[in-house]
Chain A
Amino acid sequence: MTVADDIPLAKPARAGKATQPFPIRRVVPGVLTTLIVVFCVAPFLLVLAISFGRKVDGAAWVWDLTFENYQRFFVGVLWPDEITLLYLQQLYYSFYFAVIASLLAVLTALPFTLLLTRLKRSTQAMWLVFILSSLAMSEVFIVMGWDILLSNNSGLPKLFRETGLTAWLKDVGWFQTLRDWGLANPRNVKFKTSDFATVLTMSYLVWPYAVILLYPALSRLDPSLAEAARTMGAGRWTVTRTVTLPSIRLPLLGTTLLLFVFLLGTYVAVTVFAAPEKHTTAVAIYSNVRGANLNAPFGATQAIMLLIAASTCLSLGHLLNRKAEGAR
Chain B
Amino acid sequence: MLGLSLKGVSKSFGHITAVEPTDLSFPKGELTALLGPSGCGKTTLLRMIAGLEAPTRGTILLGGEDITTHPAHKRKFGMVFQSFALFPHYSVRENVAYSLVIGGMGKAAACKKANALLETVQLGGFGDRRIGELSGGQRQRVAIARALAQEPEVFLLDEPMSALDAKLREEMQVELRLLQQRLGITTIVVTHDQREAMTMADQIVVMSNGRIEQIAPPQEIYHQPANTFVADFIGKANFFDGIVVEGGVTVGDTHLTTQANFQSGSPVQIAIRPERAAMDDEGGANRVAAKVMFVRDLGPLREYHLQSDIGPMIVEYAVGETGPTLSTGDATTVRLPPEAIQVFPRAAPKSQAA
Contacts and interface: CB of A to CB of B under 8 A. Distances in A.
* A associates with B: yes
A3 B72 contact: no
B335 to A, nearest CB: 42
B72 A15 contact: yes
B39 interface: yes
Contacts of A11: 13
* Size range of the chain B interface in the assembly: 20 to 34
Majority SS at the chain A contact face: loop
B158 interface: yes
B173 interface: no
30 contacts: A2-B47, A2-B81, A2-B82, A2-B83, A5-B43, A6-B18, A6-B40, A6-B43, A7-B13, A7-B16, A9-B13, A9-B16, A10-B13, A10-B18, A10-B44, A10-B53, A12-B52, A13-B54, A14-B54, A15-B52, A15-B53, A15-B54, A15-B70, A15-B72, A16-B51, A16-B54, A16-B69, A17-B54, A18-B71, A19-B71
Interface in B206-225: none
A202 B81 CA distance: 53
A11 B13 CA distance: 8
Interface of A: 2-3, 5-7, 9-19
Interface of B: 13-14, 16, 18, 38-44, 47-48, 51-54, 69-72, 74, 81-83, 158-159
Given A16-B51, A16-B70, A5 B13 contact: no
Majority SS at the chain B contact face: loop
B39 A7 contact: yes
Nearest to B39: A6
A15 B60 CA distance: 12
Contacts of A2: 43, 47, 81-83, 158-159
B69 A15 contact: yes
Nearest to B79: A2
Contacts of A17: 54, 71
Nearest to A1: B83
B53 to A, nearest CB: 6
A7 B158 CA distance: 14
A11 to B, nearest CB: 8
